[in-house]
Amino acid sequence: MLNKFPAGSSEKFVASATSATVHAPLPLEDRPTIAPVLFEERISALDTVRGFALLGILLMNITEFGLPHPASWNPAVAGGSTGWNLFTWVFSEVLADGKMRAVFSIAFGASVLLLVERLSRKGAGIDAADIHYRRMLWLLLFGLIHAYLIWFGDILFPYALMGLLLFPLRKLSARGLLIVAGVMMLVMTGDNVRHYFHRENEQREYAQILADEKAGKTLSSDQQDTKKDWEDTLKDFRPSPDDLKKETDAYRGSYFQLVAFRSQLVFRWHSAPIYLPNPWFDFLAMMLCGMAFLKLGILTAARSVRFYVWMAVLSFAIGLPAHAWLVWWFWKQQFSIVSSGLVGVTYEIGRVTAFGYIAVLLLFIKLNLWKSATDRLAAVGRMAFSNYIFTSVVCSILFDGYGFALFGKLQRYQLYGVVLFVWAVILVVSPIWLRHFRFGPLEWLWRSLTYWKKQPFRIRAQVAG
């Protein structure tokens, strides 16, 4: 179904849904049957947005799969930074970096709101909260398994953490949600400005420290700390050949050797959303935007064509030039460590591009353009969990030592051949799978664990039942 709700009715539906209260539990015999969303209840437009984001995320993640970790933010480290490699880096930075994750986060926030309010409307009462939190805790466990055993760049764990905060925030109005999200984006931008000037100042202090050492002066404890901090920063941004070889050997080594090496990265990555504001504001702000967009009828394709055209034009006009200029600046400064901090100053402005992508997708749906493509994206979106893990499994087999050990062997632009291959598989297999099964395999497992009941899997078994 293109959209369960007739045009113009989505706002009323969501408004009534989001005004529902959590009632006291009903007597056991009077409780409604609580089960996962039926196909007829799905919003296909939202599935399409989610599918688009799932494919787009690989545009950025592929460098983490196939190249040393610092290459994802410093193209001069590995993978090439001239010719086609430079073009590939610019393309992915301007069009995809942060934007695809933003689209995915928007879809996640909207999905959480849909699930909870659908249960509340059915009279689930406090069970709605129970199901939501159980669902997030299972997702957190899946994220830990994925991160430690398959790939360190997992987003399921931080998504689950942010999901725990969404339940009480769902009562905010669309305006309130957007205001909170906007404040978070301003805080992140301010922190990036602070970080840029801090890094610039630290570089000057480091130069003075080296001069003092050369002159035979004894360094103070503060100077020693500054020197260590700056050298650690340099090591992360532009690692030595020995450090690059150590990482490459780990990825091309045995499975358990890689798990041990990867665990250090996972700990740092998973700690960031808990202890630092920027990482979890990054996810949460866009999730709140997703909840607001759903309440406003944007994600159900219920707004006018004129609305989506202006949404796309304004989003691209603001987001693309902001990020493109600073990417150009980073290149002109020969990818210096201080200039990289300046790129982060307009990072949040650049992510507004994500709103434009959503607007274009919904325009295609409203105007019934290229329906075969949007239907395939919707199928990918319905199986987003399975497809996300499938992508990690395929890429880890291709690049890691227990598979084909291609890690570090391909140039940056060559990695995108792998992206096209994975996209082709997902786009072909997802619609075929959903002709025979209600869910993707991991979606089925997740739902069965969430509802503490084995869910029907095959479509013919559901019909027979």
pLDDT at 19: 40
User: Distances in Å between the alpha carbon of 45 and those of 109, 249, 294, 298, 435?
Assistant: 15, 44, 11, 10, 19
Please determine, for residue 15, whether its predicted confidence score (pLDDT) is greater than 80: no
Please give the model's pTM, rounded to 2 decimal places. Answer: 0.88
pLDDT at residue 30 is higher than 60: no
pLDDT score, position 277: 64
Q: Collect all residues with Cβ–Cβ distance below 8 Å to 214 and sequence separation of at least 6.
A: none
Q: Per-residue confidence at 336, pLDDT binned at 50, 70, 90?
A: confident
Q: Which of 116-130, 220-234, 434-448 has the lowest mean pLDDT?
A: 116-130
Query: What pLDDT score does 288 carry?
Result: 97
26: pLDDT strictly greater than 70 = no
Q: pLDDT band at 69, cuts 50/70/90? A: confident
Which two tokens mark 441? 């395999």
pLDDT in tens, 315-331: 999 999 998 988 898 89
Average pLDDT, the chain: 87
Please report, rounded to a whole number, the percentage of residues in the chain having pLDDT higher than 70: 88
* pLDDT at residue 273 in the model: 63
Confidence at residue 464, expressed as pLDDT on a 0 to 100 scale: 44
**158-184, pLDDT tens digit by residue?**
999 999 999 999 999 999 999 999 999
For residue 451, what are its two tokens?
A: 């509802």
Is residue 437 scored above 70 in pLDDT? yes
How far apart CA 40 and CA 36 sit, in angstroms, is 12
Span 251-280, average pLDDT: 82
Mean pLDDT calculated for residue range 418-447? 96
Return the pLDDT at 347: 87
Question: How far is Cα 312 from Cα 301, in angstroms, rounded to an integer?
Answer: 14
Tokens of 463: 């019909």
pLDDT of residue 399: 97
- pLDDT classification of 275: cutoffs 50, 70, 90: low
Cβ neighbourhood burial of 76 (10 Å; 0-12, 13-18, 19+) = middle
Q: For the CA atoms of the chain, what is the radius of gyration?
A: 24
Phi, psi of 76 (to 5 degrees): -75, -10
User: Which is more confident, 233 or 410?
Assistant: 410
* Band of residue 36 on the pLDDT scale cut at 50, 70, 90: low
Q: Which residue has the higher pLDDT, 44 or 290?
A: 290
Quickly list DSSP for 343-384: HGGGHHHHTTHHHHHHHHHHHHHHTT-SHHHHHHHHHHHHTH
